[in-house]
Amino acid sequence: EVDVTTMAPTAPMLVAATHKGICRLSFEEGEHDLVTRFPKAEIVADDGTIAAWVDGAVKAVEAPLAMPDLPLDVAGTAFQEAVWQELKKIPPGETRSYAEIAAAVGKPGAVRAAGSANGANNVAVLIPCHRVVRSDGSLGGYAYGLERKRKLLDKESGEPTLL
């Protein structure tokens, strides 16, 4: 069972969770997108059960320097999970390259695979995939658009911005 709450803090945001933790944090998605991503899940409206997690997710987006410790329910391959753990080590306001992430997980030749693992992250911001850039410092890609990625990075570095 997946509880879902759609909110609009500074940007339209969807938060979905199982009884274990948040399984999806995305921008500008709706229930249809959730059903596509989790076809075997029973999607139900949140009855308040995940309210504290939703509040924490909103705070993570609005005040990333004070990232709350929220339970996550994400699963991937061993490599994806290693990459996601490495992403969580990147401090707010800093970035790492895809090559640095690949090297940090012991697979320096797997730069593209690190990028794919980054893109497979279901919980934007909570696993900060937006903090990964190309080796030349350019933004690279982001599922929710480069403008949003830039704004998230600016917010983390103390630049005033609206998401």
With beta carbons less than 8 A apart as the criterion, state whether 95 and 150 touch.
Answer: no
Question: Shortest CA distance to 20 belongs to which of 69, 83, 74, 78?
Answer: 74
The identity of residue 141, as a single letter, is G
Q: How far is Cα 38 from Cα 35, in angstroms, rounded to an integer?
A: 5
Question: Shortest CA distance to 132 belongs to which of 82, 92, 93, 87?
Answer: 87
Which residues are catalytic, by number?
Answer: 129
Chain centroid to CA 44: 22
As given in the structure block, the two tokens for residue 139 are 């933004």
With beta carbons less than 8 A apart as the criterion, state whether 83 and 118 touch.
Answer: yes
